[in-house]
Amino acid sequence: MILVVLASLPFLFLAARRPVLRRLALRNAARRPRETALVILGSLLGTAIITGSLVVGDTLDASFSRGAITRLGPIDELITASDTAERDELAASLQALDTESDLIDGVLSLDVVTAAVSSTGAAGTTARAEPSATVIEVDFGAARSFGGDPAATGIEGDTPAPGQAAVGE
């Protein structure tokens, strides 16, 4: 609202200080009512489109955030490493920090890789492939108790046993 008032100040200043411009604008609007109505309707339509897109964007962002919290649970910080050696060193130092500090509730390591995935078709079926899939490796037992509240982890449904995988769309 403040932004609208600030953007309107120069026009209000000109209308108050320049009576000739004010009279010209009002006469032109009275002389050409259809064009004036089209300009006003166009401005209203543009404003409605921009406002609608902002509302939809905010709603989607909130939905994605709520879904992540529901599915992933109580995550405060996400630290990433660029290679395997850095990841192992980072995981060890964070695990040591977790045991030393009462301010940290838990540390959970995840391996996330983007890869091509394919299935070997059983007899009589066709093989399927996904050229770009996200593969996530996590210890589901540790993830289940991550954060201290097993009900807040957010993992929906049965978790796979060791040596198995959860596949989603």
Among residues 109, 99, 103, 105, the alpha carbon closest in space to that of 152 is found at 105
Of 20-24, 45-49, 72-76, 133-137, give the range with the top mean pLDDT.
Answer: 45-49
Residue type, 27: R
Tally: H helices and E strands in the chain = 5, 2
- Residue 73: its pLDDT value, please? 62
Strand, helix or coil for residue 111: strand
* pTM of the full structure: 0.45
Strand, helix or coil for residue 135: strand
Q: How far apart are CA 165 and CA 89, in angstroms?
A: 26
Among residues 75, 99, 85, the alpha carbon closest in space to that of 155 is found at 75
pLDDT digits (tens, 9 = 90+) for 74-130: 667 778 888 888 888 888 888 888 888 888 777 888 888 888 888 777 776 777 888
Residue 53 exposure: Cα atoms within 13 Å on the Cβ side: 5
Above 70 in pLDDT, residue 152? no
Ranges of each domain in the chain: 2-72, 84-152
